Structure 1
Amino acid sequence: MSKREFSKVSPALWRSKRFLALPKDRCRLLLVFYMTCGHQTSAGCYRISEGYACSDLGWLPEDYRTARDPLVECGLIAFDNDTEEVFVSGWFRFCPPMNPKHAAGTMALIADIESDRLREQAEQEFAPAYTALQARSPRLPGR
């Protein structure tokens, strides 16, 4: 379990066309779960087995997969079936690193992502947030 005490969720979520177009309330609930659950890390990516997710949500596996698939299809999350890792797309737009220590910890978490595809996506999405932090923190080393 993560030691995170909170996650930022933008009020813009409730105006998002992709979010509002999801076919069921369970899909929207699952996205909010992915963004805020105790498994979440500052990298926006973590491993969560179907069993853990179903236990946390009180859902059957079929219900979980039925809610997860539309999130993948519309690009709100990326999921790797082989590693059971989920990445919340756009994570760093709303949860960027706040200081050099936070950035270093996030980079370490990204490096530990088992899925090559999800690690590459996280690295690509992290880069602009890191660049913005560098502009605010002149002593932060280049990547």
Structure 2
Amino acid sequence: MRDFGKVHTQFWESTKIRGLSEDARYLAIYLLSCPHGTIAGVFRLPDGYACEDLQWTSKRVSEGFKELFQKGFANRCETTKWVWVCKHFEWNPLENPNQRKSAVKVADQIPDECDWKPAFMRVCGPLLGIQAPDFDNPLETLSEGFLNQEQEKEKEKEKEIREPNGSVGKADPIPPCPTQDLIDLFHEVLPELPAVRLLNDKRKKSISAMWRWVLTSRKTDNTRRAETAEQAKAWFREYFDRARDNDFLMGRGQRSGDHANWVCDIDFLMTDRGLKHVIEKTRVAA
């Protein structure tokens, strides 16, 4: 148990922090300063710990983590309950060899079953002098993290050049498809289904086609499904969540005939047939 955690004053000036909900902002402060944190920015945080410390319900904790993950601030594995504060080493650089050794000891404790471990080892392994081993999910990546103030200003300038109206610009009406981010969402929400281990052209095209459809199609009430990249990502998360509610897709119950050994995967979910199945045969309509 550590005695204190560091929170920079720029935390309160960050546009991304200011854009968080009150619960997510409070949870972020908690992760930076809670007694369970470590020098490596990774630690195990079961619901019971967070609920007791924050005096929150488990659902409230889960919703807070979901928002922090979407914003690239932190990632939590729902299987192992380990948490990674994604930009920890940028805010808390290691100052001497002893701190590095301590951080390596903590990193060695991350279970192999932790879904974000491959990304952590790839991003932080070189800093710690750890060679990332082969994992079952070599495509696991980190969503875009929080930027410092100068980086945020540069990004805003680039956005103004590309998108003069502050939304999807006329020159490029569809934001580039964040293929890997969508695969990461698939892995996070549907870990029971086959992991994506090969990203070939066919898969890229099918994911990109679905991305374009989300940003160009309209719902039955004539409203757009998504107008920005963030809204489209949120739609994909809800789409995968709806797939979880479908007993047939998740293999709950017996299958017969041609479907006896069939297994749903990301390829099926990216087809018109899969889209129709999820939208029309689950309890929530898209």
TM bin, normalised by shorter chain, reads: 0.7 to 0.9
Unaligned runs of 5+ in 1: 131-143
1:51-77 residue CA offsets vs partner (Å, 9 max, x unmatched): 110011111112111222100111100
Q: Which residue of 2 aligns with 1:66?
A: 63
What is the CA distance between 1:5 and its match in structure 2? 1.6
In the superposition, the TM-score normalised over structure 1's length comes to 0.80
Q: Which residue of 2 aligns with 1:25?
A: 22
Number of residue-to-residue matches in the alignment: 127
Please say if 1:78 is aligned against 2:75.
yes
2:103 to 103, 106, 113: 106
Distance 1:10 1:27 in 2: 17
Distance 1:57 1:118 in 2: 26
In the superposition, the TM-score normalised over structure 2's length comes to 0.42
Distance 2:32 2:103 in 1: 16
Name the SS for the 2:95 alignment partner. coil
Letter matched to residue 125 of structure 1: C
Distance 1:122 1:15 in 2: 30
Q: Which residue of 2 aligns with 1:52?
A: 49
Greater helix content = 1
2:3 to 2, 5, 18: 5
Greater strand content = 1
Name the SS for the 2:116 alignment partner. helix
Unaligned runs of 5+ in 2: 130-286
What is the CA distance between 1:129 and its match in structure 2? 7.7
Q: Which residue of 2 aligns with 1:124?
A: 123
What is the CA distance between 1:118 and its match in structure 2? 3.0
RMSD between superposed Cα atoms in Å? 1.9
If asked which structure has higher relative contact order (CA below 8 Å, sep 6+), I would say 1
Q: Which residue of 2 aligns with 1:43?
A: 40
Structure 1 residues 111, 46: closer, same or farther in 2, change over 3 A?
same
Distance 2:43 2:122 in 1: 14
* 8 Å Cα contact 1:90/1:125 also seen in 2: no
Structure 1 residues 67, 120: closer, same or farther in 2, change over 3 A?
closer
Identical-pair percentage: 26
Give 1 or 2 for the bigger CA radius of gyration: 2
Letter matched to residue 12 of structure 1: Q
